[in-house]
Amino acid sequence: MTIKECTVEDVPLLAEMNQHFIEDEEPETNLSLPHLEERMHGYFRSEYLAFFFCVDDNIVGYALCSKTRTPVYLRQFFISRDERRKGYGKQAFHMLIDHLGVAEKDVDVYAWNDSAIRFWRSLGFEKRRYNMNYKM
């Protein structure tokens, strides 16, 4: 596996992968692909870095993380559906940590996303706080 830093030219593919990531999270709202591309462009203009994870010539996933927050904030981490259960997620995460030279990362996970919670716990993440929401 290799890691490749993304550029603004990668936005269309990142947005498409982000759409799959959002579908897998089963969020409260879905965003259109053009909106996701616009949002991804905004990430590139701000504090975020994006990376592709590649096996041979195949992109198997991506990560989007803040380059200014401490600890580093992992906003999005995604392994393509057909590439899961092959160990790529754990391998990609450790490569990202090494690439960024950091020992601590934060990640947010929806409370109902049991598979993501299991994945992050398998990497040693622990629950630190609750983020709660109220709607009237």
Which of helix, strand or coil describes residue 63? strand
Q: Which residue type is seen at 11?
A: V
Chain mean pLDDT for the chain: 87
How many helices (H) and strands (E) would you count in the chain?
Answer: 4, 5
Tokens of residue 61, six digits: 């996933």
Supply the pLDDT for residue 122.
Answer: 85
Tokens of residue 21, six digits: 């990531």
pLDDT, average across residues 91-120: 84
Domains and CATH numbers, the chain: 2-122 (3.40.630.30)
Supply the pLDDT for residue 112.
Answer: 80
pLDDT, average across residues 106-122: 80
First to last CA, the chain: 47
Helix (H) or strand (E) holding 28: none
CA-to-CA distance for 65 and 120, rounded, in angstroms? Answer: 16
Picking from 52, 20, 43, 51, the residue whose alpha carbon sits closest to that of residue 33 is 20
Supply the pLDDT for residue 68.
Answer: 83
Q: What is the pTM of this model?
A: 0.85
Residue 134: is its pLDDT beyond 70? Answer: no
CA-to-CA distance for 33 and 77, rounded, in angstroms? Answer: 18
Tokens of residue 75, six digits: 């906003």
Report the side by side order of strands in the sheet with 72-79.
Answer: 2-5, 48-55, 58-66, 72-79, 105-107
pLDDT, average across residues 117-123: 82
